[in-house]
Each structure stands twice: as C-alpha cells, then as structure tokens.
C-alpha cells in the first residue's frame, strides 16, 4: 500500500528494461495521480491488503519458519537440501512425519507426483506450499545466493523447477522500473482475472506467475506511468498482441548448463504453445503451456472488454472501476452446462480427491473441445466442491 510514485530508478541514468524500448516515457498528470489514488482505495475496500490482525498472524508463522518472508494470500516456502538428502525419503518421508506431529499443522497434503512436487498444509491457519530442491552441495551455506546459475549445476528437473519459482520472482522485481507501481497494478489485474473467471492455470487459463509476467512487461513499456495508466495499457497492448508471439522481459539466455530452454526452433512441441509467456531466469520456460485455443479466445475477449472500459474511463464517460471489476455472469451467459460434484467420507479424503479431480479438469475441457459441435468451453469454480463446465 502507499501513494503512487514515479520510477524508483534515476530517470537520467535509467537503463532500458526489456527487449525493446518503451512505448511511452511520459510521466503522470494530476488526473492520473487522482485516478491511481482512487484505484488504490478501491483495492483496499476490496480487501486486497492485509488487515493488521492478518499481518501479525503471518509474521508469527514466518517467525516459526526461521524468518522466511513471502507476501500474498498464502506462503510459498522453498526447502533446500544438500546432495546426500533425498526428496522421497527425507522430504516426503522424515519431514512429512515431523510436520504431521506438530499441533500447529493441519490439512497436510503431500503431492509427490506433481510437476513441481509440493507439500501443502496450514500452519496456524495460514496456507503454505512447501517445495524442495536438492543441490549438489555437501553443505548448504546460510548466505546461499539462489540467483547464481551455478546453483542449478547437476540439479534434477524437479529441483530446477522448484528453485526457479524464487529465481523468477527475484528477476521480475529487478526488471521493472518501479516495484510499488508494479505491485499495485498486479493486484488490480489479479482481482480482475479472478472476477472474470480466468484466473487458473489448472483449467487452461493463467495463474499468478503468468499475470505477474504480463504486468511486468507493461511496466517496462510505460516506465513512468502510474497504476491507472498501466492497467489501461495492459488491456490495450494485449488486445492487440499477435499470439503466439512470446511475451518476454529479457532476451532468452543461451543454454549454458545443458538445461532445456524454450525454443520453438529446436523443440517442435514449443511450436504448439498458443500463448507463450516466457520466464526471465535461466532456464527460460513458457509459463503458460496450459493455455488452449479455447481458453486463449476467452482471455482475449476479456482483454478487449477491459480495454473498452478503460478507454471509456479515460474519456471520462460513465464507466468506472466497478464496471471493470464486475464479476462475470457465468450462469446467465450460456445455454449448456455440465456440473461436476465431488464427495468423500471425510475432509482429508475430500481434499485429496478434489486435488486429483482438479488436476484432470483441463484435459476434460480439451476433450470436450475436440467435439465437432463445440465452439469453445471453459471451467468455472463455484465452490471447492462443485465445478461447472460450459460447452457451446
């Protein structure tokens, strides 16, 4: 939270961020300052900032975790182990046993078979995702620097993916001209995506990292703009974007450790990606490989709607932030629906069953989309226990 600000990099010495120069380096007007302040208040009223009580609870949990810090609705924690430890025996074995005996830990759910293996749980009612990376070091130093590419040396694929969560986040913050304006804009876009029903990489839309990268690119293109303009330009740029041209914050680093990087010239499967959004840290990957032609169409339609509303706001017509963030009327928009209900005998089984079902939903939409009479389909989450699939 805080008042909008100009670039936090010296403008006279400001380096070019991104693979191209900015579209506009214009600074804000008095109107922009007023609209950005109005937008920030909207986010506060929408509950996008932590209350004092929530912040205290989170700090207590972080203190128990040896001063690990992480913002957001839940906490992502990376556990790093030396070469003689293993993911199966030590992380999902011994550490899982230790956590299961702690009274503060509830809803413990290991997912060793995921693309990025994780242990999810609640610690004093704060949701946490615990990842594990196995390094080739005999001893893990206290001042371990995750930004060094050498840390990936001899790491297995799952460890590389786990490490890159932190590495990508740090790199994004280094590649935007104003972190404060970036974070405010990202809060806006995340809220908008959730209310419009397109925030979920599990179902073929975009998740947190995808939206973070898209917003960061807009910040590079408009380095001195305040959040109200950044939100507007977000929709303008991506409405006109020619997919599958990739969104990138920096040039793709060449292969230096033998790890696979996104390169449609070398890897035929990369040519099939509909909406490439490339991570900036080595090894550069497409973070949005789940997007299908059906979900891409829906996303671009929402970009267009957002752009039209923002244009009306800039023209000082009737549109306002409430109009932009209006929830998508899913049950009024279509004619045909398929409802999926899941149930189990106890809460633990239900959580595991729900996770398995959710992991298969994207494949369901893809199979439905292959039917000749289906124009497009997408999933809407009404609650944790019911899913609706629209087919048209």
Nearest-10 Cα torsion for 61, 62, 67, 69: 180
Which comes out higher in pLDDT, residue 367 or 32? 32
pLDDT of res. 314? 86
What fold, for 30-49+170-324? Poly(a)-polymerase, middle domain (1.10.1410)
Q: How confident is the model at residue 67 (pLDDT cuts 50, 70, 90)?
A: very low
Q: What is the pLDDT of residues 319-353, one digit of tens each?
A: 789 999 999 888 887 777 777 788 888 888 888 88
CATH for 52-167 is 3.30.460.10
Q: Reply yes or no on whether the pLDDT at 66 is more than 50.
A: no
Both tokens of 38, joined, read 């109005």
**Total residues found in the chain within this entry:** 392
* Mean local confidence (pLDDT), 364-385: 58
Both tokens of 357, joined, read 């079902």
Local structure of 152: helix, strand or coil: helix
| Residues near 250 by beta carbon (within 8 Å), at least 6 away in sequence | 18, 19, 171, 175, 280
Both tokens of 96, joined, read 């899982």
Is residue 209 a known part of a binding site? no
pLDDT of res. 201? 83
Local structure of 160: helix, strand or coil: helix
CA distance 63 to 254: 39
Q: What is the pTM of this model?
A: 0.85
Is residue 129 a known part of a binding site? yes
For residues 224 and 25, the answer to whether their CB atoms sit within 8 Å is: yes
Is residue 322 a known part of a binding site? no
Dihedral of CA 212/216/218/222: which sign? Answer: positive
CA distance 169 to 172: 5
CA distance 57 to 48: 17
Dihedral of CA 29/31/34/36: which sign? Answer: negative
φ/ψ of residue 229, rounded to 5: -75, -40
Q: Reply yes or no on whether the pLDDT at 6 is more than 80.
A: no
CA distance 113 to 158: 10
Weakest-pLDDT range from 13-17, 60-64, 341-345: 60-64
Both tokens of 329, joined, read 């009327």
Buried b / exposed e across 113-149, counting CB within 10 Å, b at 16+?
eeebbbbbbbbeebebbbbbbbbebeeeeeeeebeee
φ/ψ of residue 253, rounded to 5: -70, 140
* Mean local confidence (pLDDT), 20-38: 92
Q: Which DSSP string corresponds to 61-77? A: HHHHTTS----SSSEEE
Q: Reply yes or no on whether the pLDDT at 72 is more than 80.
A: no
Is residue 335 a known part of a binding site? no
* Mean local confidence (pLDDT), 283-290: 93
């Amino acid at each position: 939270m805080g008042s909008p600000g100009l670039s936090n990099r010296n403008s006279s010495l400001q380096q070019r961020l991104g693979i191209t120069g900015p579209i506009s380096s214009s600074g804000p007007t008095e109107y922009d300052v007023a609209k950005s302040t109005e937008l920030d208040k909207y986010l506060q009223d929408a509950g996008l900032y932590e209350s004092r009580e929530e912040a205290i609870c989170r700090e207590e949990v972080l203190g128990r975790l040896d001063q690990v810090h992480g913002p957001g609705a839940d906490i992502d924690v990376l556990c790093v182990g030396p070469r003689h430890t293993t993911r199966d025996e030590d992380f999902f074995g011994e550490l899982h046993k230790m956590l299961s005996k702690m009274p503060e830990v509830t809803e413990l759910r290991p997912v060793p078979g995921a693309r990025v293996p994780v242990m999810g749980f609640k610690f004093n009612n704060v949701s946490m995702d615990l990842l594990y990376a196995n390094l080739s070091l005999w001893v893990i130093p206290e001042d371990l620097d995750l930004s060094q590419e050498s840390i990936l040396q001899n790491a297995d694929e799952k460890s590389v993916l786990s490490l890159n969560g932190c590495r990508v986040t740090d790199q994004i913050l280094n590649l935007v001209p104003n972190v404060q304006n970036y974070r405010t804009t990202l809060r806006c876009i995340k809220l908008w995506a959730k209310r419009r029903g397109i925030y979920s990489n599990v179902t073929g839309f975009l998740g947190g990292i995808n939206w973070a990268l898209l917003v960061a690119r807009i910040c590079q293109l408009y380095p001195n703009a305040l959040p109200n303009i950044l939100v507007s330009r977000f929709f303008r740029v991506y409405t006109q974007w020619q997919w599958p041209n990739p969104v990138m914050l920096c040039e793709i680093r060449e292969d230096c450790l033998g790890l696979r990087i996104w390169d449609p010239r070398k890897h035929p499967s990369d040519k099939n990606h509909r909406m490439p959004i490339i991570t900036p840290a080595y090894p550069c990957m497409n973070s949005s490989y789940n997007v299908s032609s059906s979900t891409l169409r829906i996303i671009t339609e929402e970009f267009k709607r957002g752009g039209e509303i923002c244009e009306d706001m800039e023209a000082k017509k009737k549109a306002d932030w409430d109009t932009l963030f209006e929830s998508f009327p899913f049950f009024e928009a279509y004619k045909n629906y398929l409802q999926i209900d899941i149930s189990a005998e106890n809460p633990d089984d239900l959580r595991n069953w729900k996770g398995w079902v959710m992991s298969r939903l994207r494949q369901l939409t893809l199979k439905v989309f292959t039917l000749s009479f289906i124009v497009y389909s997408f999933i809407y989450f009404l609650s944790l226990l019911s899913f609706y699939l629209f087919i048209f």
